């Protein structure tokens, strides 16, 4: 929504009476329109409640979202299968999700060391590291978190296309964005690992002091404190680091990869 005093864009899931927002609108069929600044009659619309027939909102259309009709995919001779065959492995994304301090990065790092020892070609995308470059322009509002995961999902897809085993360690708090990542990939290429460490345990660790700052109100939109975490409903693997060490957790992920035929049993 738009802060009418500062014109700042704020993340929001709904608008209250007289509030103004900026959003993407999806329709179930095509409609003819013109941008509002070019033609007010063709670029304006109202929203009507189906039950009461009352007008509940009004809007202005800026542009169509599908602006890439003149862009086509370039066919290349070397494809994912060829790249994977060269590396002698099956590409996959192992997506670690969980609260801050749950142990995602530690387990992913331990797993990558084991993959390296087996001669596998892998890459670990870590939530903190990507915010130093690729996603340095993003904050931690709901909208920025969604964009953060969207970018990572596209990068992971490119890495899978290059034949890599991709490990990602992100809080990734929303089911919809994790589901979107799964849909980007082919069947069997997305393995969701929920590092299901209880909030009180993750907060007790608090190696970076983030929970303390969030509790004092110094850190806004912190997952588990004043921002939600939507736990996976059916992950491929669920790990509670209260019951196992990071090395043991990494071995469990390895066993899953072997069971699914992604890695050869026993390395």
Which residues are designated catalytic?
Answer: 172
Q: Are 137 and 195 in contact (CB under 8 A)?
A: no
Residue 123's SS3 state is strand
Kindly state the tokens that stand for 248.
């043991």
Alpha carbon distance 121, 206 (integer Å): 32
Q: Are 221 and 214 in contact (CB under 8 A)?
A: no
Residue 97's SS3 state is strand
Q: In Å, what is the CA distance from 159 to each residue of 15, 110, 155?
A: 38, 20, 6
Contacts of 107 (CB under 8 A, 6+ apart): 96, 169, 193, 195, 239, 241, 246, 249, 250, 253
Residue 36's SS3 state is coil
Kindly state the tokens that stand for 163.
């034949």
Calculate the CA dihedral of residues 149, 96, 113, 209 and round it to 10 degrees.
80
Cβ neighbours around 161 below 10 Å, total = 15
């Amino acid at each position: 929504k738009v802060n009418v005093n500062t014109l700042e864009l704020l993340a929001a899931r709904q608008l209250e009476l007289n509030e103004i927002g900026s959003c993407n609108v999806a329709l179930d069929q095509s409609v003819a329109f013109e941008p509002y600044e070019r033609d007010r009659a063709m670029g304006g619309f109202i929203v009507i409640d189906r039950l009461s027939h009352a007008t509940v909102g009004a809007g202005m259309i800026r542009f169509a979202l599908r602006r890439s009709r003149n862009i086509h995919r370039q066919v290349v001779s070397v494809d994912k299968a060829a790249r994977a065959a060269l590396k002698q492995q099956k590409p996959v994304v192992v997506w670690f999700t969980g609260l801050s301090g749950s142990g995602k990065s530690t387990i992913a790092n331990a797993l990558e060391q084991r993959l390296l020892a087996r001669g596998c070609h892998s890459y670990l995308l870590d939530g903190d590291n990507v915010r130093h470059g690729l996603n340095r322009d993003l904050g931690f509002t709901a909208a920025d978190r969604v964009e953060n995961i969207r970018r990572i999902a596209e990068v992971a897809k490119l890495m899978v296309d290059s034949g890599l085993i991709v490990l990602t360690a992100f809080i990734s708090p929303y089911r919809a964005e994790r589901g979107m990542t799964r849909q980007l990939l082919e069947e069997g290429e997305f393995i969701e690992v929920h590092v299901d460490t209880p909030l009180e345990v993750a907060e007790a660790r608090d190696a970076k002091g983030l929970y303390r700052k969030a509790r004092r109100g110094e850190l806004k939109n912190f997952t588990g404190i004043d921002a939600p975490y939507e736990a996976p409903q059916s992950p491929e693997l669920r790990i509670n680091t209260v019951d196992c060490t990071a090395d043991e957790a990494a071995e469990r992920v390895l066993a899953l990869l072997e069971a699914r035929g992604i890695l050869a049993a026993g390395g």
